[in-house]
Amino acid sequence: MRIRLVEKTFEPLGRRRKWLLATLAAGSVLVLQACSTAPARRGKGARAPALPADVPDDADAGSAAGPGSEIVMQALANVGKPYRWGGAHPSEGFDCSGLVAHVFEDALGVKLPRTSLKMSARGTRVERARLSAGDLVFFNTSRYAYSHVGIYIGRGRFVHAPSSGSLVRVEQMSSPYWSNRFDGARRLVAVD
């Protein structure tokens, strides 16, 4: 199996690194679950609520395969890191494009442009209903297109570095704030 980037081709990561990333992602997911509130109890025979219509029925880190899972695991490993304007490393913190660039370089060895606007010109356009784990999602948060970027992780969620004074976190794309500001999505990797 070869992973194809829009501009270049590269070999998948070694087994040891994949195992390490999978272990790190599993730990991150457990930490995230421990911090969430308990769901409301349902009576006998009650069914779980359906996902909203705009949430694709796709995988996240637990079941995604290929480069998408590498990207998701690396993104989740950075949840909780502080926001820092211009930041591009876990030790100093991240801004939105710094987080995305760091994740892609660490997970796949791919160097991306430093701004969300320049990132929006890479890869291929993806419809919102066809998002896959590892796709980039763009938003208009500063009165200009593609002013914010995050990494889609599946089930209608994305990881991003939101703003000054906050932490890298997971958000729902269906929330009114993000849904109203969605600018589009790009896929940077494909599996042959």
- Which sign, positive or negative, has the C-alpha torsion 51, 53, 57, 61? negative
Q: Is 160 a catalytic residue?
A: yes
State how far the Cα of 167 lies from the Cα of 72, in Å rounded to an integer.
Answer: 17
Q: How many CA atoms lie within 13 A of 134 on its CB side?
A: 26
- 93 phi, psi to nearest 5 deg: 105, 175
State how far the Cα of 50 lies from the Cα of 38, in Å rounded to an integer.
Answer: 18
Amino acid identity, residue 1? M
Q: Any alpha helices (H) in 46-108, and if so which ranges? A: 67-77, 96-108
Q: Is 96 a catalytic residue?
A: yes
Count helices and strands in the chain by DSSP H and E runs: 5, 11
State how far the Cα of 4 lies from the Cα of 24, in Å rounded to an integer.
Answer: 25
Catalytic option among 35, 89, 102, 148: 148
Q: How far is CA 129 from the centre of its chain?
A: 16
Q: Is 102 a catalytic residue?
A: no
How is residue 129 annotated by DSSP?
G
How is residue 83 annotated by DSSP?
B
Supply the residues annotated as catalytic: 96, 148, 160
